Amino acid sequence: MKKIILAGIFCIAATTLLKAQGAKGNLYLGTDLGSTIYHSQTTTTNTNGNIETNNTKEYTISVAPAIGVFLSDHFILGGNLSVNYDHNQSDFNDAAASSSSTTTSNSTHFDIGPIMRYYFFADKPSTTMFYLQANGTVGAGSGSTTEADNNSGTATTTSSNVSGLFVYSGGGSVGITHYITKNIGLNFGVGYLYTHTSYTDNYGDTKANVGIGNSGINLSAGFHLILP
């Protein structure tokens, strides 16, 4: 009889744990910490023996709190609000002219958008599960650009501010969630992200409209809380 009672208690506790790990109607509260994207590209042009190279590197760091609801035991629909920092550096070198320049851009923007996540498991959720996720955002912000030119040994630096910054993105990822308690899970993901940025560069009275599209690998880590 004692064994039967203990078995019953264990079953009830296990059922409570599994429900806390994602059941229809539960609330999902989470955030990605230190989500990053890195993109690097080198272009070499040979024109009648004159070699020009352009090396571009970009990275983005973001923090993205999210809220959602389990529409089923497997599927979460929600939204997130992210704060993003973008850094872009482009190094240009003209061998024939013995000149080089470096353009550095920094910007900060706030984005909002939907998030969808699907967990894979057979009959019941477990403490460790794989998931697929899709998300998109739109946002706005501000930034600055600095150009450092070095021609014939003379270095000049020109700075500008960025206005009308508009950003949109979309992507997908695959990841894994591990529950360290009945309602707190750790998330690790890797995926693909496309981002398009448009803005106006203001050099005194000179204005330049800029549009940049980038894609790359997105790495993320974070945690979430499940509320019944």
In the chain, domain spans: 2-227
- Point out which residues pair with 198 in neighbouring strands: 166, 211
Report yes or no: 109 and 141 within 8 Å, Cβ to Cβ: yes
Is the pLDDT reported for residue 11 higher than 50? Answer: no
Question: In the prediction, which pLDDT does 27 show?
Answer: 95
Is the pLDDT reported for residue 52 higher than 50? Answer: yes
Report yes or no: 184 and 128 within 8 Å, Cβ to Cβ: no
Cβ neighbours of residue 38 closer than 8 Å, sequence gap 6 or more: 57, 58, 59, 216, 217
Of all residues in the chain, the percent with pLDDT exceeding 70 is 83
Is the pLDDT reported for residue 105 higher than 60? Answer: yes
Cα-Cα end-to-end distance for the chain? 32
Question: In the prediction, which pLDDT does 37 show?
Answer: 64
Average pLDDT of every residue of the chain: 83
Question: In the prediction, which pLDDT does 7 show?
Answer: 45
Q: Does domain 2-227 have CATH number 2.40.160?
A: yes
Is the pLDDT reported for residue 82 higher than 50? Answer: yes
